[in-house]
Amino acid sequence: MDVKIESSWKEALQTEFDKPYFKDLTDFVRAEYASATIYPPASLIFNAFNLCPFSNTKVVIIGQDPYHGPGQAHGLCFSVNDGVQFPPSLQNIFKEIDADLGIPKPTSGNLTRWAEQGVLLLNATLTVRAHQAGSHQKRGWETFTDSVIRILAEQKENLVFILWGAYAQKKGAFIDRNRHLVLSSAHPSPLSAYNGFFGNHHFSQANQWLTQHGLSPVNW
């Protein structure tokens, strides 16, 4: 199948795109966009990949579902478009960055600048119906994004995987801790942020690892 995605990802994932489940997933997603309001806009489904080529990826942050409110989702986990109010989890992410690195909360919740520095902001499910959280789960996206994580973990060295919450930790359980840095903690949502997300120092630890392995740190 010919998928419109950044060229280094296309090369890395072509065998995945040719599998029967991916055709079924594509048929489902096309039908959904034709009949309902779906987020993110169709042109931004693979935005995380297009902004952060396979060849440039050095940090992977795993989310779950796209935001399902108007104007929020644009294909990067935890990120919202310019001018959109920060969702609670993103507020807490910025609080931890400030506490960890002394970087004050930015004026925009758009994390494109992270993606362009090599941070893959990967949701487990890449599409969702408006106002229906989880509506596109178990349709094939999870199989696809599991393969993305596996290919990264097998084909690259010295990545940083950031796993917040039980769902992300389960999704990244197979990653070889001898080859990559895996940072795990509670999720930044208000329900769990005080159970170990705040004070996790993941952003400074990631930068320390990258620097130790000759890679430029991320300007969080």
Catalytic residue numbers read 65
Question: b/e per residue, 55-77, with b = 16+ CB within 10 A?
Answer: eebbbbbbbbbbbbeeebbbbbb
The dihedrals phi and psi of 194, each to the nearest 5 degrees, come to -85, 0
Helix/strand/coil (H/E/C) assignment for every residue in the chain: CCCCCCHHHHHHHHHHHCCHHHHHHHHHHHHHHHHCCEECCHHHCCHHHHHCCHHHCCEEEEECCCCCCCCCCCCCCCCCCCCCCCCHHHHHHHHHHHHHHCCCCCCCCCCHHHHCCCEEEEECCCCEECCECCCCCCCCHHHHHHHHHHHHHHHCCCCEEEEEHHHHHHHCCCCCCCCCEEEEECCCCCCCHHHCCCCCCHHHHHHHHHHHCCCCCCCC
CA distance 72 to 70: 6
